[in-house]
Amino acid sequence: MKNRPLHGLKVLEFSQYLSGPSAGLRLADLGARVIKIERPKGGDACRQLAIKNMWADESSLLFHTINRNKESFAADLKNPEDIIWIRRLIREADVVTHNFRPGVMEKVGLDYASVQAINPKIIYAEITGYGKEGPWKDKPGQDLLLQSLSGLAYTSGNADDDPVPFGIAIADILCGAHLAQGILAALIRRHKKGMGALIEVSLLESLLDFQFELLTTYYAGGEQPVRSNVNNGHPLLSAPYGIFETADGFLAIAMVPLKKLSLALLCTPLANFSQDDAFSRRDEIKQVLADFLKQQPSAVWLERLQQHDIWSMEVLNWQQMKAQEAYKVLQMEQAVRVGDKDIITTRCPIRINGERLFADKRAPRLGEQTEKIKAELVNQLI
């Protein structure tokens, strides 16, 4: 796509692993030039974090997924010569991101005050686990730990389950999204007023924000919400909200008045409940429904439900999803060439003027652009 909205902006990414780099990936796909600043020995630790032993070009497939469409500049932040280069880079940059624990950037003289002194208009954006004060500030900012501390592990699963974490790194992803929002908003202000900014987000605050509906309800009532005993979908929602087994699979049913549901399914036992029971007798109602829906295959139920405009859909795994025409028309996949093979990954989910934002530049090798970038900086000085 031509005219990507962030074309011309330069981002220095000191971030590692997922949270900060996911923000960098979004900015890159929106058109920014994102340069990873990596330790000469090993680089971003994510390069070595292989899942299922999948590698490409000496880095983990995971690293490639998060860091395509970026460049890499190798620098030892404890080496004064390298720091001179970094200071030059900062002078030309628009954005700096990092996700080190509090104190690390201070130690190498790259905290906000120091960076601002080099480039007053810089947008300096940092991620911590728990903010920069308080008793947890030096604790590891790891996704599962944050899910566990923030109450989130008590929202999924059923009432008699142990706490159930989300099976995806939700804190990292949300916090990366918030960092990108803060950076973009600050760039807008800089265009208007010429001001730089310090943007701070934390994994914990991002997970609290994520739970804002549930927390506001909790603050008002003081009662811990109780997960449904039967097929929990959302701890605060009435029956039938949840996923149900059928004779040959599973289907999801969202909000629907019980009477309407009873008529659509021809499920007479449901008629014993009034709409006022939908929350207070949630588990009984869902059990009736669970027993009933096991009797026929999903297609039978879905036809009845969708004929009555009831919010219901089947439950698919990835294999089933990939086979759907509705998936294919999205064109969500893109191939990224690494060495002599293609990695298939997803594109940016945002479309602009009807165009999808594909960007198939592979992730850089460690330090791949160091010399090129140094030459650019030297040329600018002449």
The answer to the question of residue 139 lying near a second copy (CB under 8 A) is: yes
Cβ proximity to a second copy: between 9 and 74 the closer is 9
Whose CA is closest to 115, among 51, 199, 2? 199
Secondary structure letter of residue 356 according to DSSP: E
172 tagged catalytic = yes
364: helix, strand or coil: coil
The correct pick among 41, 160, 221, 381 for binding a second copy (CB under 8 A) is 221
Cβ proximity to a second copy: between 51 and 382 the closer is 51
CA 141, 144, 145, 148: dihedral to nearest 10 degrees?
140
Least distance between a second copy and beta carbon 206 (Å): 5
Q: Which two tokens stand for residue 253?
A: 């049913």
Cβ proximity to a second copy: between 17 and 73 the closer is 17
Least distance between a second copy and beta carbon 74 (Å): 25
- Give CA–CA dist 290/292, Å, rounded: 5
Is the peptide bond preceding residue 120 cis, with omega within 30 degrees of 0?
Answer: no
**Site track for a second copy across 29-48, x = CB under 8 A:** -xx-----------------
Q: Which residues, including other chains, have CB under 8 Å from residue 321's CB and lie 6 or more apart?
A: 327
Number of residues that bind a second copy (CB under 8 A): 142
The correct pick among 80, 353, 379, 382 for binding a second copy (CB under 8 A) is 353
Within 186-205, the residues that bind a second copy by CB under 8 A are: 186-189, 191-193, 195, 197-202, 204-205
Question: Angle formed by the axes of helices 298-307 and 258-265, to 10°?
Answer: 120
Do residues 363 and 68 touch, judged by C-beta distance below 8 A? yes
The correct pick among 19, 232, 262, 370 for binding a second copy (CB under 8 A) is 232
Least distance between a second copy and beta carbon 178 (Å): 5
Catalytic position from the list 29, 172, 309, 342: 172
- Give CA–CA dist 121/98, Å, rounded: 17
Least distance between a second copy and beta carbon 82 (Å): 27
**Nearest-5° Cα angle at 348, 342 to 351:** 125
- Give CA–CA dist 69/27, Å, rounded: 10
Least distance between a second copy and beta carbon 307 (Å): 13
Which amino acid makes up residue 258? L
The correct pick among 33, 88, 98, 178 for binding a second copy (CB under 8 A) is 178
Least distance between a second copy and beta carbon 76 (Å): 23
- Give CA–CA dist 128/171, Å, rounded: 11
The answer to the question of residue 118 lying near a second copy (CB under 8 A) is: no
Q: Binding segment for a second copy among 49-57, 69-77, 79-87, 371-379 (CB under 8 A)?
A: 49-57
Within 240-259, the residues that bind a second copy by CB under 8 A are: 241-243, 245, 250-255
122: helix, strand or coil: coil
Q: In 3-state terms, the chain is what percent helix, strand and coil (to 5)?
A: 40, 15, 45
Within 299-328, the residues that bind a second copy by CB under 8 A are: 311-319, 321, 324-328
For residue 167, CA distances in Å to 175, 312, 316, 344, 345 come to: 17, 23, 16, 22, 19
The correct pick among 1, 104, 118, 164 for binding a second copy (CB under 8 A) is 164
The correct pick among 48, 114, 181, 229 for binding a second copy (CB under 8 A) is 181
Within 281-300, the residues that bind a second copy by CB under 8 A are: none
Least distance between a second copy and beta carbon 13 (Å): 17
Within 328-347, the residues that bind a second copy by CB under 8 A are: 328-330, 332-333, 343-346
The answer to the question of residue 155 lying near a second copy (CB under 8 A) is: yes
The correct pick among 87, 235, 284, 300 for binding a second copy (CB under 8 A) is 235
Least distance between a second copy and beta carbon 130 (Å): 6
For residue 269, CA distances in Å to 10, 116, 243, 265 come to: 63, 68, 19, 11
Catalytic residues: 172
